[in-house]
Amino acid sequence: MTLTVKKLHPSLGAEVSGVNLHAPVDEETKAALSAALAEHLVLVLRDQSFTPAEYLAVADAFGTLMRQHYSQHNMADYPDIGIILHRDGQKPASMWHTDHTNRERPPKATILYGLTVPREGGETSIANMRAAYAGLPAEERRHLETLTTLNSIDAHRTDVLPEDREKYGAPVAHPLVRTHPEHGSKAIYFHITKAFEIEGMSGAASQALMQDLLDRTITPENIYTHRWRKGDLMIMDNRATMHRAHGDYDRSQDRELWRLIVQGDRPYLQGTP
C-alpha cells in the first residue's frame, strides 16, 4: 500500500491512509510517517480498532514508549496506556499545554485513540506553535530565545500519587523556544502549569509572560480542531504544538480516549544542544 497524506487545515493537520498499523511497519514507512508528522504536526488515521495489546504496538511506528506519570489513570494490565475518561474523576485538560514537560526527555509525540466519543462536543484543539513563534516580531523572538523554564509535575494537582511526585517532581530546565530536531524550525515550548518559573523571573511574572504569549499567539488560523469519531487515531507532535480538550459535551455520554506517549529528545535551541 502507498502512504497518502491529505491536509486537514492550512496550518497543521493531515489525514493519513495507506498504512496498516496492525502489522509491523517497515523502516521506509516509519520514515515517511516521521516526516509527515514533522511537517504537518498532527496526523489522523480513521476507522481504527485496537485491543490494548494491539494499541501498544502502534507506538513502534513512531518511536519508543514512555511511561505516563499520572499513573492513577493508567490501564491496570497495560500501564503504558493512559485512559482519559471523565468517569474516573478527570477534568478536561482545557488549558493550552504540551505533554510531560517535567521530564528531561519529554515526549516526541502523543498518540490518542478514540474508543468512545460523545455525539456532540468533546473535541481536541491543536495549535501550531511553530507558526505562533514565527508570527512574533524579530526582537521579541530574540528575547524569548534567551529564556529558560523550570518545570516540575503540577503543584496544583492534588490527585498526583506520592510515588509519581517523588519520581517525576525534580525541577527540569528547558528552553522556552526549542528547535525541532527533524524539521529544523523553532517553536514556543512550555506547559504553563508545569513551568513554575522562568529563570531570573518571579513565579508571578513568569506566569504572566507565558499567559500573554498564549493569548497573543494562539489564533484561529493556527488551530486545528479535531471532532472525534469512534476509531480515530491521532498523533500530535509535542515538539511544536500545544493542545487542549473541550469539555462541552453531555456527561451522560462517555468520552474515552486511550493515550500513549513516545520518547523524545532533550529540548534544545539551535546552537545550544
User: Who's near 233: CB < 8 A, 6+ residues apart?
Assistant: 21, 44, 45, 46, 48, 58, 111, 112, 113, 114
Q: Are 270 and 179 in contact (CB under 8 A)?
A: yes
- The predicted pLDDT at position 168 comes to 86
pLDDT per residue of the chain (273 residues) written in tens, 0 to 9: 589 999 999 999 999 999 999 999 999 999 999 999 999 999 999 999 999 999 999 999 999 999 998 888 899 999 999 999 987 777 778 899 999 999 999 999 999 999 999 999 999 999 999 999 999 999 999 999 999 999 998 877 777 778 888 888 899 999 999 999 999 999 999 999 999 999 999 999 999 999 999 999 999 999 999 999 999 999 999 999 999 999 999 889 999 999 999 999 999 999 765
User: Who's near 31: CB < 8 A, 6+ residues apart?
Assistant: none
Query: Is residue 267 domain-resident?
Result: no
Distance CA 237, CA 264 (A): 10
Instruction: Find the angle CA(65)-CA(264)-CA(43) to the nearest 5 degrees.
Output: 80
**Amino acid residing at 162:** P
Q: What is the domain extent for residue 57?
A: 4-262
What is the count of structural domains for the chain? 1
Distance CA 86, CA 92 (A): 8
Query: Is residue 268 domain-resident?
Result: no
Query: Is residue 271 domain-resident?
Result: no
Measure the N-to-C terminal CA separation of the chain; round to a whole number of Å: 38
Query: Is residue 247 domain-resident?
Result: yes
Query: Is residue 63 domain-resident?
Result: yes
DSSP-assigned beta bridge partners for residue 114: 257
Nearest Cα residue to 176 out of 206, 154, 201, 144: 144
Distance CA 167, CA 69 (A): 9
Query: Is residue 88 domain-resident?
Result: yes
Query: Is residue 269 domain-resident?
Result: no
pTM for this model (two decimals): 0.95
**Amino acid residing at 24:** P
Here the CATH number for the domain that contains residue 92 is 3.60.130.10
Q: What is the CA radius of gyration of the chain?
A: 18
- The predicted pLDDT at position 94 comes to 86
Decide the pairing of beta strands 233-237 and 109-116: antiparallel
